[in-house]
Homo-oligomer: A and B are copies of this chain.
Amino acid sequence: MSESLLRTVPAEGFDVARVRMDFPILQRRIHDHPLVYLDNAATTQRPLQMVEAMNRYYLEYNANIHRAIHTLGYESTVAYEEAHKKVARFINARSWREILFVRNATEALNLVAMTWGKANLRAGDEVVVSLMEHHSNIVPWQMLRDSLGIILKFIPVTSDGVLDLEAADRLITPKTKLVGLVHASNVLGAINPVSEIRDLARRAGALFVLDGAQSVPHMAVDVQALDCDFFAASGHKMLGPTGIGFLYGKKSLLQTMPPFLTGGDMIATVSQEASTWNELPWKFEAGTSAVAEGIGLGAAVDYLTTLGMDNIYQYEKELGDYALQRLRNVSGLKLYGHERGESLAVFSFNLEGIHPHDGANALDRFGIAVRSGHHCAQPLMNRLGMDNTLRASFYLYNTKAEVDLLVDALGEIKKLFRA
Binding site for B on A (CB under 8 A): 1, 24-25, 28, 30-31, 35, 37, 39, 42-43, 45-46, 48, 50-51, 54-55, 58-64, 67-73, 103-107, 109-110, 131, 134-140, 142-143, 152, 154, 234, 236, 241-244, 261-265, 267, 269-272, 274-275, 286-293, 357, 360-361, 363-364, 368-373, 376, 378-379, 382
Contact = CB atoms under 8 A, between A and B. Distances in A.
A107 B102 CA distance: 11
A413 to B, nearest CB: 13
B110 A142 contact: no
B243 A290 contact: yes
B373 A135 contact: no
A46 to B, nearest CB: 5
A263 B72 contact: no
23 contacts: A25-B72, A30-B71, A37-B72, A39-B63, A39-B70, A39-B72, A43-B64, A46-B58, A50-B58, A55-B55, A63-B369, A70-B364, A71-B364, A71-B369, A73-B369, A106-B263, A106-B288, A109-B263, A139-B267, A142-B262, A152-B272, A270-B376, A290-B290
B364 A59 contact: no
Nearest to A288: B104
Nearest to A71: B30
Contacts of A51: 55, 58-59
Interface secondary structure of A, over-half rule: mixed
A293 B67 contact: no
A289 B59 contact: no
The 4 lowest CB-CB distance pairs between A and B, nearest first, are A106-B287, A136-B263, A243-B290, A243-B243
B110 A261 contact: yes
Given A72-B369, A242-B290, 4 more contacts: A35-B72, A51-B58, A243-B290, A271-B378
A126 to B, nearest CB: 14
B67 A373 contact: yes
Given A369-B68, A373-B67, A379 B272 contact: yes
Contacts of A364: 69-71
Contacts of A363: 70
A1 to B, nearest CB: 8
B242 A293 contact: yes
Given A104-B288, A110-B263, A287-B107, A70 B242 contact: no
Contact of A69 (B45, B71, B357): B357
A405 to B, nearest CB: 14
Given A25-B62, A58-B46, A379 B106 contact: no
